[in-house]
Structure formats: structure tokens, C-alpha cells
């Protein structure tokens, strides 16, 4: 296994743990761990600007906002947390199964995980790099922000 494969597996496991845990603080910690792993992957793929944005905004700022919001809410009793965990497991039972199926399909397809690195232009302007060379990084940032928004909606849905 390459380091990229190990990082991607850890990223997916941290994301699943973030969604499946019943306690909000553990979910925030899981989100921060997921974000840090994604930052490492972005650095390894020679995308330092996107990695810095990911680390500062998602792992830092968003986690701090969530923790402060959790501090303003009322803590669940152990009985309420157990009930909530059972409800969440009945709603999300398919997630680990889907994860295993996707993993099996990816191993059977043998998709190469060694991505081609693009070279930056001679001009080191952030605007040129982000909008002209790093389209996939921008798309990734948009997907991450939308996933975070949907995650917040699903966490505070009750």
C-alpha cells in the first residue's frame, strides 16, 4: 500500500466516524481529523494553497465555531444520547456497508492513486494558479464546503 492509499483510507474512516458518533464534540473532533488528513493529501499532491485554506478554514475556524456553538447548547443525558445513537444507527446503517462495497469496487477496478502533478506557471500569482491551473482543487473546496453544510444540517436536524 502506498502512503496515498493509507491516507485516503484513514480519511474515509475518520469521515464515517464523524457521521456515526452520537456526541457533537466527538463529531467536531472527527471533522477536524478528517480535515487535517485531507490537508496532508493536498500537500502531497502539490496543492499547498488549497491545503492551507483547508487547514485554516475547515480544521481551524469551523471547528472553533462548532465547539463554541456546542458550548451554548444543553448537554444530553446518557439515556438521551443512547436513544439518539440508536436512531442515528437505524438511519445510517447502510453507510458502512456502502463504504465496504465502494472499497471492494475500487480494489477490483485497480484505479491508480498516483496522480499527475501539474507544474505552476512562471507567474506566481494566486489568482492565476487557483483559477487557471487548479480547477479540481477549487471544485474540491466547493464539494467540501457543501458537504460541511449538509453535515451541519443533518447534525442539527433534530
95 within a domain of the structure (yes/no):
yes
Same structural domain, 99 and 34: yes
100 within a domain of the structure (yes/no):
yes
Residue with cell 442539527: 156
Q: Which domain covers residue 42, as residue numbers? A: 1-74+90-110
Same structural domain, 139 and 95: no
Task: Give the C-alpha distances (Å, rounded to integers) separating 36 from 7, 27, 30, 32, 129.
Answer: 10, 14, 10, 6, 22
The pLDDT value given to residue 158: 57
Q: What pTM was estimated for this model as a whole?
A: 0.56
The pLDDT value given to residue 10: 92
Residue with cell 472499497: 103
Same structural domain, 69 and 135: no
84 within a domain of the structure (yes/no):
no
Report the alpha-carbon distance of residue 47 to residue 129 in Å, rounded.
Answer: 10
80 within a domain of the structure (yes/no):
no
Checking if the pLDDT of 84 tops 60, the result is: yes
Same structural domain, 45 and 66: yes
Number of compact structural domains in the chain: 2
52 within a domain of the structure (yes/no):
yes
pLDDT, tens digit, for every residue of 99-136?
888 878 877 877 665 656 555 555 666 666 666 676 67
Report the alpha-carbon distance of residue 95 to residue 99 in Å, rounded.
Answer: 6
Same structural domain, 98 and 152: no
Same structural domain, 33 and 101: yes
Amino acid at each position: 500500500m502506498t502512503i496515498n492509499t493509507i491516507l485516503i483510507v484513514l480519511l474515509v474512516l475518520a469521515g464515517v466516524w464523524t457521521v456515526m458518533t452520537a456526541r457533537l464534540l466527538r463529531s467536531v473532533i472527527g471533522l477536524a481529523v478528517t480535515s487535517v488528513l485531507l490537508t496532508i493529501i493536498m500537500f502531497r499532491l502539490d496543492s499547498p494553497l488549497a491545503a492551507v485554506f483547508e487547514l485554516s478554514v475547515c480544521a481551524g475556524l469551523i471547528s472553533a465555531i462548532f465547539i463554541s456553538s456546542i458550548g451554548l447548547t444543553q448537554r444530553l443525558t446518557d439515556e438521551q444520547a443512547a436513544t439518539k445513537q440508536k436512531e442515528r444507527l437505524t438511519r445510517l446503517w447502510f453507510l458502512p456497508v456502502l463504504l465496504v462495497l465502494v472499497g471492494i469496487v475500487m480494489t477490483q477496478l485497480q484505479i491508480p492513486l498516483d496522480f499527475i502533478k501539474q507544474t505552476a506557471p512562471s507567474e506566481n500569482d494566486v489568482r492565476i494558479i487557483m483559477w487557471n491551473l487548479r480547477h479540481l482543487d477549487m471544485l474540491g473546496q466547493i464539494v467540501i464546503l457543501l458537504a460541511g453544510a449538509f453535515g451541519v444540517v443533518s447534525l442539527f436536524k433534530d
